[in-house]
Amino acid sequence: MIDIKNISKWYGSFQVLTDCTTTINKGDVVVVCGPSGSGKSTLIKTVNALEPIQQGDIVVDGTSITDKKTNLPKLRSRVGMVFQHFELFPHLSITDNLTLAQIKVLGRSKDESLKRGMKMLDRVGLSAHKDKFPGQLSGGQQQRVAIARALSMDPIVMLFDEPTSALDPEMVGEVLDVMVGLAHEGMTMMCVTHEMGFAKRVSNKVIFMDAGKIVEDCSSADFFGKPEARSPRAKEFLSKIL
Ligand code: ADP
Ligand code: MG
């Protein structure tokens, strides 16, 4: 589904990613973890070409992001992304937040986009709030709307970048529950998260990053179950969380 092939990236003269390679298969739930500043957000943003890469290539469902012939907006429309800060449009109702990109990017009719949006809003348990504005919802509810909005686009993969980090603790569970449900339905997911309970229970693969490199790329069973076999940096990380 996603082939990340020897990618390197620089911000100016600072090399943020060094020769990163990994493969994500259909139905994989991949957790990306590692210390702050290790390049997790940058890596995930390169997958839908929100951040350009200077070396290597990424192939998403058969389409290379570096191929000049690739229609990037079209590719991006198939890759759902949920960020730490919900990034809903504050001046639009929940309904309009859900339908805007379907209409503008996918060219769906108003009726069709509404139908799809409402189905996804129901899925995250927020149908009753369709006419509200984002500011009238809690952080956890806004993040669930952001997930529903991404799902309305019928993505082939969902990318999450610390979707629960900005939430009050009592709201983390409701967002994780939605993510667990998605995983169980077979959605291909790549999640940057510090929620190691979620990682252990739900993911099948862990990527551990340090200083711009992928230093571990293994099954979650091996990552959490055989810490002694991990690299020193991952061991140190695990010793703090396990
Ligand atoms: P993580 O998500 O693991 O915390 P990031 O991918 O956000 O790491 O950042 C990796 C490194 O790149 C950090 O040192 C950060 O300061 C730097 N960085 C991130 N974004 C930019 C940017 N737009 N310009 C310059 N440096 C950046
Ligand atoms: Mg980050």
Distance 27 CA to ligand 2 centre (A): 23
pLDDT at site 192:
97
**Which-ligand-closest: CA of 16?**
1
Q: Which amino acid is at 167?
A: L
Nearest residue (CA) to ligand 1, atom 12: 16
Q: At what angle do helices 110-123 and 94-104 cross, to 10 degrees?
A: 130
In the DSSP assignment, the letter for residue 106 is T
Take residue 176 and report the two structure tokens written for it: 């994780």
Question: Ligand 2 centroid vs 41 CA: distance in angstroms?
Answer: 4
Residue 20 CA from chain centroid, whole number: 18
Residue 18: band (very low, low, confident or very high) from pLDDT cuts 50, 70, 90: very high
Distances (CA, A) of 65 to 91, 106, 136, 182, 198: 32, 19, 38, 25, 30
Ligand 2 geometric centre to CA of 211 (Å): 13
For ligand 1, pick from 16, 47, 83 the residue to mutate: most ligand atoms within 8 Å of CB: 16
CA distances from 23 to 69, 183, 204, 212, 229 (A): 23, 18, 13, 17, 21
Q: Is any atom of ligand 1 closer than 6 Å to the C-beta of 37?
A: yes
Considering only CA atoms, which of 158, 152, 169, 196 is closest in space to residue 82? 158
Atom 6, ligand 1: residue with shortest CA distance: 39
β-strands 2-11, 14-24 pairing: antiparallel
The answer to whether 107 and 142 have CB atoms below 8 angstroms apart is no
Does residue 52 have its Cβ closer than 6 Å to ligand 1?
no
pLDDT digit string (tens) for 40-79?
999 999 999 999 999 999 999 999 999 999 999 989 999 9
The predicted-structure confidence for 222-237, as pLDDT tens digits, reads as follows 999 988 889 999 999 8
Q: What's residue 185's pLDDT?
A: 95
What is the pLDDT confidence band of residue 86, given thresholds at 50, 70 and 90? confident
Q: Assign 239 a pLDDT band (cuts: 50, 70, 90).
A: confident
Helices and strands in the chain: count of H runs, count of E runs: 9, 10
Tell me if 189 sits within 8 A of 30, measured CB to CB.
yes
What does pTM read for this prediction? 0.95
- The number of the ligand nearest the C-alpha atom of 43 reads 1
User: Is residue 242's pLDDT more than 80?
Assistant: no
- Cβ–ligand 1 contact at 38 (below 6 Å): yes
